[in-house]
A and B are shown apart, each in its own frame.
Chain A
């Protein structure tokens, strides 16, 4: 965990409203594990005041070039422009100075290699699943079920395919892949592969539905949650979710930033998640 004052290597639009940014980040391959995130300081001046959390999509390295330039390690984030902070981010260029706090939080547990691995991504929720897939394909069969409202929300799927992940796309408006919700696809897959473990990240209604399906099938599930964050390190208590067994008398709050963002389904209080998280889960 470090705060890097660093620079942007590239920042490109990959689909309408979606951008991919590479940021110089030495030693991240040693520090980061799949599912962790960073807090991005958009600019040194205000606004915006607070840092913005983003999942790490991938860690890469520009090779050392022939003039003896050292290799450059970078992280890649993929973000959707949704508000004031991301609007400024889309205007940033190669060489611009930014700050990066991370890697933060707890990522995914890889689990038993014998299981079938099913990744469920909704829109921008796909991001933390890529590094996970990179690890999982080393020893397990991996499938990605990717859903979005429309074809523009289906991003980076070919990159998963290149890893050897079998991908299934669905869109609500039927503009790409199967028409309907990603959770329908999940139901079918779980019938076919009962010995599976599921990893999900996406909007809260999707996560909720995935949880119900996995609970019915008694399938182990890990989810990556989003929350509004101020500090990202467990100090402000702004990002909490209710843990299993929570009650007002015995509060069991968990910080999304520190105890998460990835949780095993059984760590969380699902009866209450709907009411408290719908606000900041943000369907994107």
Chain B
């Protein structure tokens, strides 16, 4: 049987690849740290090879216990979490989790944090020569225990200092992840760019709290937690919009993305890529749906290269 010839424009698939800090991603979609474990947890449900990149749970120098339970609770169109950054520690990660991740045909971005500047620097240094680690994402939403617990990312001088220090200890592409819990995010964005960040990702969770009215206790053992999910998306889009106007490094948009339409908002305001977090819990296939939806959107709109869409917000 003769093959039916479709017109050129409908057969050609849009180019979906983007580049961030020298990392070549086959599409702009990756998981958000802490919502995708170390990758293997979701392997039964999703082909990890189709992802733009893989982002791991946040790692610290030593294993971290995390908070008491309850650690999570659902809120309107979102959830609060106070996991407390429980993780296996950087050395165990390299030994036990990297071998699996290395087999995946997608760049592995390792998220990390510390409670002191030195800890941040040491984790970055230990990851520097680990083969298979394509890039680092530095979570600066952590309290600085040597400075009264003030969160690094809420103090632009502390943020500048810690990013500068890490910059000296790593040759890998360095993405700095910003906290939204600040008065003016443009100030922190400028500070971390100036300190040598190759890219910026945002947003981490918004601090929040919920109360069980019957017991009159906080719903989280930690009292305060981080809000994520669809509820935070408009806030995240606004913050990404503000940051892309302020910096020249590429930006990764995060916050409440569950469908392609959500991801498109971030790309249009100027994010080069996006991360999907809480939506993975709701639908383990969420990222595949976002990727397919983005491609379909480009096709429908006659966009040949997804890069032509980035930062096209109309005034």
* Chain A interface (Cβ < 8 Å from any Cβ of B): 1-3, 41, 46-51, 99, 101, 227-241, 248, 251, 253, 258, 275-277, 279-280
Q: Are A234 and B78 also in contact (CB < 8 A) when A51-B281, A276-B68 are?
A: no
Q: Are A238 and B81 also in contact (CB < 8 A) when A3-B284, A227-B69 are?
A: yes
- The answer to whether B79 touches A234 (Cβ under 8 A) is no
Please choose the segment from B38-46, B152-160, B175-183 that sits at the chain A interface, where 4 or more of its residues have CB less than 8 A away. Answer: B38-46
Q: Of all chain B residues, which has the CB nearest A230?
A: B281
The reply to whether the CB of B207 lies closer than 8 angstroms to some CB of chain A is no
Q: Of all chain B residues, which has the CB nearest A247?
A: B65
Q: Which of B69, B81, B284, B285 contacts A280 (CB 8 A)?
A: B69
A229 to B230, CA, bound (A): 18
Most buried by B among A231, A240, A248, A251: A231
Q: Which of A46, A101, A230 contacts B72 (CB 8 A)?
A: A230
A72 to B230, CA, bound (A): 36
Distance in Å from the Cβ of B83 to the closest Cβ of chain A? 5
- The answer to whether B76 touches A47 (Cβ under 8 A) is yes
Chain B, interface residues (CB within 8 Å), range? 35 or more
The reply to whether the CB of B74 lies closer than 8 angstroms to some CB of chain A is yes
A280 to B217, CA, bound (A): 12
Q: Are A49 and B66 also in contact (CB < 8 A) when A3-B283, A230-B72, A235-B41 are?
A: no
**Residue interface bits B12-38, CB-to-A below 8 A is 1, else 0:** 000000000000000000000011110
Q: Of all chain B residues, which has the CB nearest A257?
A: B41
- The answer to whether B282 touches A279 (Cβ under 8 A) is no
A41 to B279, CA, bound (A): 12
Provide 18 A-B residue pairs closer than 8 Å at the C-beta atoms, listed in order of the A residue.
A2-B45, A3-B285, A51-B281, A101-B45, A230-B79, A233-B45, A234-B37, A235-B42, A236-B37, A236-B281, A237-B66, A237-B83, A238-B72, A240-B66, A240-B69, A240-B71, A251-B63, A253-B65
B residues near A99, Cβ cutoff 8 Å: 283
Q: Of all chain A residues, which has the CB nearest B212?
A: A279
A residues near B282, Cβ cutoff 8 Å: 41, 49-51
A residues near B86, Cβ cutoff 8 Å: 237, 240, 251, 253
- Grouping DSSP codes into helix (H, G, I), strand (E, B) and loop, the A interface class, with mixed when no group exceeds half, is loop
- The answer to whether A49 touches B285 (Cβ under 8 A) is no
A258 to B44, CA, bound (A): 13
B residues near A280, Cβ cutoff 8 Å: 69-70
- The answer to whether A241 touches B45 (Cβ under 8 A) is no
Distance in Å from the Cβ of B249 to the closest Cβ of chain A? 29
Q: Of all chain B residues, which has the CB nearest A249?
A: B65
A2 to B282, CA, bound (A): 14
Q: Of all chain A residues, which has the CB nearest B284?
A: A3
Most buried by B among A240, A248, A275, A277: A240
Q: Which of A50, A258, A277 contacts B79 (CB 8 A)?
A: A50
Q: Which chain B residues (51-90) contact chain A, with CB distance < 8 Å?
A: 57, 63-66, 68-74, 76-79, 81, 83, 86
Q: Are A279 and B281 also in contact (CB < 8 A) when A50-B79, A233-B42 are?
A: no
- The answer to whether A49 touches B72 (Cβ under 8 A) is no
Distance in Å from the Cβ of B194 to the closest Cβ of chain A? 34
Q: Which chain B residues (265-286) contact chain A, with CB distance < 8 Å?
A: 278, 280-285
Q: Of all chain B residues, which has the CB nearest A48?
A: B74
9 further interface pairs, Cβ-Cβ under 8 Å (given A46-B77, A235-B35): A3-B45, A41-B283, A49-B78, A51-B281, A228-B70, A230-B281, A237-B66, A238-B72, A276-B69
A101 to B86, CA, bound (A): 25
A258 to B40, CA, bound (A): 12
A269 to B9, CA, bound (A): 63
Q: Are A50 and B221 also in contact (CB < 8 A) when A235-B37, A253-B66 are?
A: no
A233 to B37, CA, bound (A): 9
- The answer to whether A235 touches B280 (Cβ under 8 A) is yes
B residues near A235, Cβ cutoff 8 Å: 35-37, 41-42, 280-281
Q: Of all chain A residues, which has the CB nearest B74?
A: A50
The reply to whether the CB of B229 lies closer than 8 angstroms to some CB of chain A is yes
Most buried by B among A1, A230, A233: A230
- The answer to whether B83 touches A236 (Cβ under 8 A) is yes
A232 to B74, CA, bound (A): 14
- The answer to whether A50 touches B65 (Cβ under 8 A) is no
- The answer to whether A233 touches B284 (Cβ under 8 A) is yes
A51 to B281, CA, bound (A): 8
- The answer to whether A236 touches B45 (Cβ under 8 A) is no
A residues near B285, Cβ cutoff 8 Å: 3
- The answer to whether B35 touches A236 (Cβ under 8 A) is yes
Top 7 A-B pairs ranked by shortest CB distance?
A251-B65, A235-B37, A238-B72, A235-B41, A231-B281, A230-B281, A1-B44
B residues near A51, Cβ cutoff 8 Å: 281-282
A residues near B37, Cβ cutoff 8 Å: 233-236
Q: Which of B65, B69, B221, B280 contacts A231 (CB 8 A)?
A: B280
Q: Which chain B residues (215-254) contact chain A, with CB distance < 8 Å?
A: 217, 221, 229-230
A238 to B82, CA, bound (A): 8
A residues near B77, Cβ cutoff 8 Å: 46-47, 49
- The answer to whether B284 touches A101 (Cβ under 8 A) is yes
Q: Which chain B residues (79-104) contact chain A, with CB distance < 8 Å?
A: 79, 81, 83, 86
A233 to B73, CA, bound (A): 17
Q: Which of A47, A48, A239, A248 contacts B65 (CB 8 A)?
A: A248
A48 to B45, CA, bound (A): 22
Q: Of all chain A residues, which has the CB nearest B45?
A: A3
- The answer to whether A50 touches B281 (Cβ under 8 A) is yes
